[in-house]
Amino acid sequence: MPKDKAAFDYPELYASIFYGKWTSESTIRRRAVQRGYLIRKSRRVNLTPFDQGGYMLIEIGTDTIVVGPRFDANILDILVHLRDASDYGAA
């Protein structure tokens, strides 16, 4: 099995291991709000081309979709953006 395959099959598990202190979705949501973002999760059961059943990251001040415009981001994508967009060790 390739080393990165687990990240694609189980992004939440990979994220919780890789980012130790950010282990739950509620913690990730709080961190996003602290950095000026809002996380939306798709509620759709049947996937469509415009809604892939994942996550969307929205900038609070401008209501701009930053990651996952079609709810196609996973939690690892959100974590990577939050890490890259701000000083990761500050909070």
Residue 24 falls within a domain, yes or no?
A: yes
Residue 71 falls within a domain, yes or no?
A: yes
pTM, entire model: 0.68
Residue 91 falls within a domain, yes or no?
A: no
Residue 40: both structure tokens together: 């939306």
Residue 46: count of CB within 10 angstroms of its CB = 6
Residue 2 falls within a domain, yes or no?
A: no
- For residues 49 and 20, give the distance between their C-alpha atoms in angstroms, rounded to a whole number: 33
Domain that holds residue 70: 8-85
- For residues 23 and 17, give the distance between their C-alpha atoms in angstroms, rounded to a whole number: 8
Kindly give the confidence (pLDDT) of every residue in the chain, 91 residues in length, as a single tens digit, with 9 standing for 90 and above: 344 444 455 555 555 555 555 567 888 898 899 999 999 998 887 777 777 788 999 999 999 999 999 888 988 888 888 888 765 444 4
In the chain, how many domains are there? 1
Residue 73 falls within a domain, yes or no?
A: yes
Residue 1 falls within a domain, yes or no?
A: no
